[in-house]
């Protein structure tokens, strides 16, 4: 991915903060998921009073994409912060990392964590989920 594409994904993820439904935590998260064909699916976090049904931004983006037939993913950008203020990286939770493991290549899928267009780092899924359990383990 080139810098322009990374910046576009950061902008789209930041834009999703406005759609977060976070009446309990106030912690807004936005995500932009890039398919290998170049399509981008966006997601925000959606809280629930019962907590367990809460859905993370990353899973919202993945589930939207998968529900429309997508199965090949290149990268995801994740941003987040209390009241939508981006002061540090918002790394994906364990459940989201497991969803990524289901659909993405450990070595090539990129996870962009950002606080702005200028401040971001890129990790592989393997770096964030070493020794992950996925579909290959069941073959």
Q: Which residues are catalytic?
A: 58
User: What is the C-alpha to C-alpha distance for residues 59 and 41, in angstroms, rounded to an integer?
Assistant: 11
5: three-class secondary structure by DSSP: helix
Other beta carbons less than 10 A from residue 121's beta carbon:
10
User: What is the C-alpha to C-alpha distance for residues 60 and 4, in angstroms, rounded to an integer?
Assistant: 24
Contact 30, 16 (CB under 8 A): yes
């Amino acid at each position: 991915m080139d810098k322009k594409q990374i910046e576009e994904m950061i902008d789209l993820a930041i834009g999703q903060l406005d759609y977060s439904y976070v009446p309990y935590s106030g912690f807004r998260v936005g995500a932009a998921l890039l398919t290998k064909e170049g399509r981008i699916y966006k997601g925000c976090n959606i809280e629930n009073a019962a907590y367990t049904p809460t859905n993370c931004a990353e899973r919202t983006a993945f589930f939207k994409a998968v529900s429309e037939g997508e199965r090949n993913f290149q990268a995801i950008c994740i941003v987040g912060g209390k009241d939508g203020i981006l002061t540090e990286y918002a790394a994906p939770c364990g459940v989201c990392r497991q969803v990524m493991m289901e659909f993405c290549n450990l070595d090539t899928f990129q996870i962009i964590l950002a606080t702005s267009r200028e401040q971001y780092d890129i990790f592989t899924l393997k770096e964030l989920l070493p020794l992950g359990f996925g579909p290959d383990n069941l073959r």
